[in-house]
Structure 1
């Protein structure tokens, strides 16, 4: 089962372990980083649904990391930091964050903020995205359901469907799809992508996903 994937940048090892264990118990997949270089490398090499970034970390600070990330993508990001002045809050939002939570915080509050961001990304107020009268997609578990029964999808198909649901009625380029489906160490495959598209069309209906010649694909909501 592919879960919502989170990168946690936190240089306090005990706090990092506590957050990671809690979020994994709540059904998320969590990668950890302890300095800015490690975090940026993982963001570059992997596809994440949410970034959780401490600010005062070894290397460049969290604000500067997110500024670099924002030049390339719009992964939802939450700062988790002991910096609590209004000026710091302003710096955080100007650097591109979606939310800002001050330490100390309740773990449940962090989970609620993560879930809220995921729902916003998919333009829904629930953890479930309704595709049509028959199909529902669970944001937390990345599972597709038809008439309350799980529809088998492999991990790449789940990633692709999530990308489509985030970008309904928008043409998504082949390059953007490759960057989201394949991690850095993997080799993107056009033939594999066509197979994933074919499988999703077979499940959801052939008219759900349009091929836009020489550009990419569009998911019709």
Structure 2
């Protein structure tokens, strides 16, 4: 699954440059030019990592991250800012950021930091993952094969399997799963989710996906 990034940056030229660079490297980038736009994106889209300028209109980066963390969202965040005092850095980390990069910066350095955080948070993004004996999943192409034969699954079933494989042995709550499977203009369906789980179990084995009653599911390996 393509990692999704939120880029909060009010410099339009810099935002456009960073967006195109990261998209060429295989990331999906949602741009916001002020804190309120960023907040809308966070609640409408599944975001894997946030790139946050501090000095932006309406709600600055510090205020935005504080609000996001208080709401329970824990995706990693990198501050990208011209602020360089020790106090600013300390404040950023105390609010829950994971890294700090000062302007001006090299795009390659930004990429290294993004990739490092994605890998640390979600595990390695191998393209082909062994689900079980003779069962492989290409996480980039969303392709599941059993004994070398392609298995026909719905897009949401494939996205769900990709999510499980990025969080092996971790509890995934219904909220986390819903954020991944349904777009902002779609209504999450618990009935559909149960059907997707049933289908995946029939292919990869019932014991691979545990039900945690009233909370969510866990992929075990």
Shift of residue 152, structure 1, vs aligned partner: 6.2
Specify the alignment match of 2:25 in structure 1: 26
Separation of aligned partners in 2, 1:103 and 1:137: 37
Specify the alignment match of 2:90 in structure 1: 90
Residue ranges of structure 2 left out of the alignment (5+ in a row): none
- Give the number of equivalent residue pairs: 217
The one-character-per-residue Cα deviations of 1:112-138 (angstroms, maximum 9, x if unpaired) are: 2111111112234x6558454653554
Specify the alignment match of 1:185 in structure 2: 185
Shift of residue 28, structure 1, vs aligned partner: 1.1
Larger RCO, structures 1/2 (Cα 8 Å, 6+ apart): 1
CA RMSD of aligned residues (A): 2.6
Higher mean C-alpha deviation, range 186-195 or range 172-181: 172-181
Distance 1:95 1:215, change over 3 A: closer
Distance 1:70 1:148, change over 3 A: farther
Separation of aligned partners in 2, 1:153 and 1:114: 31
Shift of residue 200, structure 1, vs aligned partner: 2.7
Higher mean C-alpha deviation, range 6-15 or range 106-115: 106-115
Residue 74 of structure 1 pairs with residue 80 of structure 2 = no
TM-score by length of 2: 0.84
Please say if residues 143 and 150 of structure 1, whose CA atoms lie closer than 8 Å, have aligned partners that are also in contact: no
Please say if residues 142 and 162 of structure 2, whose CA atoms lie closer than 8 Å, have aligned partners that are also in contact: no
Specify the alignment match of 2:136 in structure 1: 135
Separation of aligned partners in 2, 1:185 and 1:201: 28
Separation of aligned partners in 1, 2:149 and 2:103: 40
Residue 48 of structure 1 pairs with residue 59 of structure 2 = no
Residue 121 of structure 1 pairs with residue 121 of structure 2 = yes
The one-character-per-residue Cα deviations of 1:167-193 (angstroms, maximum 9, x if unpaired) are: 432333333322332233210112221
Residue ranges of structure 1 left out of the alignment (5+ in a row): none
The one-character-per-residue Cα deviations of 1:33-62 (angstroms, maximum 9, x if unpaired) are: 100000011111111111111111011210
